[in-house]
Structure 1
Amino acid sequence: MTIGENIMPAAFVLPVPVATAIAPPDLADSTLLDVDPDAQMSLGAVEVDSRHDVTYATVELPGGARRELKLDILRPATDDRLPLVVHLPGGAFLRCNKAMAFEARRHVAESGFVVASVEYRVTADGATFHDSVRDVRAALAYLRSYADDFGIDPGAVALWGESAGGHLAALTGVTDGLPEFSAASDPAPPGQVQAVIDAYGSSELSAIADDFDEAARLHYRQEATHFSAYLGRPGSPFPEILDEVRAADPAGYATASAPPFLFLHGSEDMLVSSSQTQHVHQALRAAGADSTRYVLNGANHGDVAFLGRANTGLPWTSATTMGIITGFLHRRLDRAGATDR
């Protein structure tokens, strides 16, 4: 399994267009990364312990039904307290499968982190982006509360998301402390996230096809998509709900106090324009925050095997790409939590 694998099952029909033409990425403020897909990340050098289906919250869905939200944990088999990396899987805000990207998560865990893969509410649950952010905050609060049980250093926490999870990681990272994105029961003060990784995430949803062919751009201008429901306005095309688009855009909350960010995007992403991560990257830099962005040359939207394109995920699990991810985490988290150990 590779990073981003099984965003949708093979039989799933994506309810939005796939690009047939893609504009070259703007590299003015980013680094183009050539990776060898045959040189893959290492696995198995470190023994890893796992915990599955840990319930971190119970939420009420529209109509009164209740749902348990769960997470899976991977960590090296050691008694040391380790930095926490919260992984947020993709799924186009339509579904959320915490089992995704298992091997990539294991690689990060073997590198010296507690990795928690978190499920969060999506449109199938009647949720909006506010609900998803609150779920991530609830998971963070739960993991801090049980830091002793899981061997977590609560002073060293990162968010790592892919696709829709990348959007959610970025939005959670920049809205830390804002009451509209926090549950009333969350007692955590601001500043509880020390780093954010956004891999091929969306941001300004109305511009999600800006790098694509005219047919794809026209679809988003004229048609209501499932994204509209996630913004709280089902059935409305983007031009009618620009206030909601702005409210869900991480760039609009960028400040100098935002945690350090790492963005990664594929130059051949056919589902989310690469300018989506650049949009947030530029806003963070303009605000005075620390942000770094890489564009993987020739890479698509994670592993888009559900569209019949085999092995497209290999650049994302290459030794080079995963080395950038783990290197960023060590630089930001080892230093962040050093005084708490």
Structure 2
Amino acid sequence: MSVTYPAADAALLRDVEYGRAGDVSLRMDGESPDGTGPFPAVILVHGGGWMRGDRTQSVQPLFTPLLESGFAWFSISYRLVTDFMQVGTAVADVKAAVQHLRKFAARYNVDPDRIAVIGESAGGHLASMAALEEPALVAAVVAFYAPTDLCALVRSSANVPEQIREALRNSVLGPLLESHLSSLSPVDRVSQDAPPFLLIHGTADNVVPYTQSVEMQKRMTAAGTACELVTVSGGGHGIRPWESAMWKNQMLDWLRKHLI
């Protein structure tokens, strides 16, 4: 995957190419706080079921809180998939964005050793997978209501196409599909080398069950890896509907602890 050298220093960045995948240009927006830097940085990964979504929308509520707390943020686009089995390509794009930011850290006025990834929903899954596949890439991970056990999610969720659920039940295809889903499941990729994780999840989530984050925390704790879970009581799926600002303060305090 090739990389284009970034534009000259600027506090506000729009539509910057961080890499290419074949003919696809991978782009990001970003903004840096006031001050001299180098700043701790956060890469934001939007949700949308791996098949849709936009870097300017679902993670937008995080832009201002991060900036006001002294973090530079970079919100990325990644290759959306038409087939659920292709989500590994999006994981590669997240890793490419981190590698780009580390390579050109001086240009962006950020500290390459103080980079976190934050993802929501499918983006939380991608952020988690990128960090678990290459633990040295980032210093911390925040995952909002992220799918962590794809086998369990496929079996239980009405949001998953019936043909995929049927394939998992099939005596011939089932074991192959389960093995593939396991390879893409953060709960099955946990190791003691993983960076610290913060999980944020609402108890009334009817898209990605709250138990997905509970199980992820259990796996990480058992592996001896730092993992905290912020529970949003009565919270559904999505950042915007959550009225309480408590989770924002907890997230920012946690990021300061690990990046500042």
**Fold shared by both chains (TM-score > 0.5):** yes
1:125, CA displacement in angstroms? 8.5
Task: Provide the aligned C-alpha RMSD in A.
Answer: 2.3
2:32 and 2:249 map into 1 onto residues whose CA distance is: 18
2:101 matched residue in structure 1: 143
Partner Cα distance (1:127, 1:56) in 2: 24
For 1:66-92, what per-residue CA distance to the aligned partner results, in whole angstroms no more than 9, with x for missing partners?
111101102112221111111100001
Matches within 5 A, 1:135-284: 135-176=93-134, 191-208=136-153, 216=157, 223-225=162-164, 237-239=167-169, 240=174, 241-284=177-220
Which residue is 1:53 aligned to?
15
Structure 1 match to 2:3: none
* Structure 2 counterpart SS, 1:273: coil
Q: Secondary structure at the match of 2:123?
A: helix
Unmatched 5+ stretches in structure 1: 1-47, 61-65, 177-189, 229-235, 304-311, 335-341
**Aligned sequence identity (%):** 28
CA distance in 1, matches of 2:24, 2:84: 12
8 A contact 2:11–2:31 mirrored in 1: yes
Whether 1:111 aligns to 2:69 is yes
Contact 1:74 1:106 in 2 (8 A): no
For 1:203 and 1:314, the matched residues in 2 are separated by 21
Alpha-carbon separation, structure 1, partners of 2:64 and 2:229: 23
Q: Where in structure 2 are the equivalents of 1:8-47 lying within 5 Å?
A: none
Q: Give the corresponding residue for 1:185.
A: none
* Structure 1 residues 266 and 126: CA distance shift in structure 2, 3 A: closer
Higher relative contact order (Cα pairs below 8 Å, separated by 6+ residues): 1
- What amino acid maps onto 1:108 in structure 2? L
Structure 2 length as normaliser, TM-score? 0.86
- Displacement of 1:127 in angstroms is 7.5
Native 8 Å contact 1:209 1:272 kept in 2: no
Q: Residue by residue, what CA displacement relative to the aligned partner does 1:117-137 show, whole Å, maximum 9, x if unpaired?
A: 111112149982221111111
**Per-residue deviation at 1:175?**
1.1
- Number of positions where the alignment pairs a residue of Structure 1 with one of Structure 2: 244
Q: Secondary structure at the match of 1:159?
A: strand
For structure 2, the residue ranges without an aligned partner over 5 or more in a row are 1-9
State the Cα distance separating 1:146 from its structure 2 match.
1.5
Does residue 83 (structure 1) correspond to residue 13 (structure 2)? The answer is no
| Higher radius of gyration, 1 or 2 | 1
User: What stretches of structure 1 move > 6 A for 4+ residues in a row?
Assistant: none
- Shift of the 126–289 alpha-carbon distance from structure 1 to 2, 3 Å rule, reads closer
